[in-house]
Amino acid sequence: MSTEAANVKNSTVKEPGSPEKPFDSTGSETSDGRPSLITRFHSSVLDPERSSSPYRVAEAIDREGGLLWPSKGTKLRKDESPEERKERLERMAGAIKTVIECVGEDPDREGVMKTPMRYAQALMFFTQGYEQNMKDIINQAVFEEDHDEMVIVKNIDIFSLCEHHMVPFVGKVSIGYIPDKRVLGLSKLARIAEMFSRRLQVQERLTKQIAMSLQEILKPQGVAVTMEASHMCMVMRGVQKPGSSTVTSCMLGVFREDPKTREEFLRLIRSQGL
């Protein structure tokens, strides 16, 4: 963009409430004394009051409850009484009724009349990973074992919700680790992946949480997690690219340090199985 074009653009950007005054994009304040766009952007990013990503704010495992990276409302949801749960669902259903109205439907039409409560219940199921307890999932499935070769469970189906659009992303995750005298029951790897996917997620964090929690539980020589997923927010809207998929990975310990180990993992997850 030429300087001239940039100037023209600047002079036409207006803030609601101060229609006459353009932003000063270089200084810290606009001419009417309000903080500039850049200052406000920086303070919104650096604001210490703003909640950060769940795996940065707290310890990975809440030792008392066994929750992993609990978010702000997690404990409230987990510890509520049946009456409080009923009230929560009714509140959600009310909001969804509004959504149905807003998209241009008649919420009293027979077909959608019960949709608000149905959707509220479905959404609670899609996000039940918030309530799941690591201790229950592991449930005495950590075994002392003299095994130090790679263990891989691959192509675990994942169904999650993108936290930016609250629409699904679906895909497959592969998990590998090299034990250090401790192994975990194989089905538990899939359970851990499922627990983290049943939350509002971004694929990058989901991948990392699976890897970091395994590292924490087993203290193995290393953990590797890769995930390939298709995001409905890309496929159904916006760029509309059916067939596009997003790949993420998280390598810890020997998988990060030793390229040969990492290669072996990647080769094994690519190989055609059974």
- Catalytically active residues are 162-165, 203, 231, 233
- One-letter amino acid identity for 34? R
Q: How far is the CB of 204 from Zn ion (least distance, A)?
A: 12
Main-chain dihedrals φ then ψ at residue 209, nearest 5 degrees = -65, -40
Nearest alpha-carbon partner for 214 in 128, 142, 129, 133? 142
Query: Which residues are CB-contacts of 236 (< 8 A; sequence separation ≥ 6)?
Result: 167
- The dihedral through the CA atoms of 117, 121, 127, 132 has a sign that is positive
Residue 40 contacts Zn ion per CB under 5 A: no
Burial class (CB within 10 angstroms; exposed 0-12, middle 13-18, buried 19+) of 66: middle
Is 164 a residue that touches Zn ion (CB under 5 A)? yes
Q: How far is the CB of 164 from Zn ion (least distance, A)?
A: 4
Those residues with Cβ within 8 angstroms of residue 67's Cβ, 6 or more apart along the chain or in another chain: 61, 74, 75, 78, 133, 134
Query: Taking CB under 5 A as the rule, does residue 237 contact Zn ion?
Result: no
SS3 200: strand
Nearest residue relative to Zn ion (C-beta): 233
- Binding-site member from 156, 162, 184, 223 for Zn ion (CB under 5 A): 162
From candidates 21, 75, 154, 165, binder to Zn ion by CB under 5 A: 165
CB of 163 to Zn ion, least distance (A): 8
Tokens 């307890």 map to which residue?
Answer: 133
Binding mask 178-217 for Zn ion (x = CB under 5 A): ----------------------------------------
CA-CA distance, 102 to 25, in Å (whole number)? 36
Nearer Cβ to Zn ion (186/236): 236
CB 67 within 8 A of CB 78: yes
Q: Which is nearer to Zn ion, 39 or 230 (CB)?
A: 230
Residues 46-65 that bind Zn ion (CB under 5 A): none
User: 31: which DSSP letter?
Assistant: T
Name the minimum Å distance from CB 210 to Zn ion.
19
**73-81, 164-172, 201-209, 212-220 -> range binding Zn ion (CB under 5 A):** 164-172
Please tell me whether residue 224 binds Zn ion under the rule CB under 5 A.
no
Interacting residue with Zn ion among 58, 92, 113, 233 (CB under 5 A):
233
Residues that bind Zn ion (CB under 5 A): 162, 164-165, 233
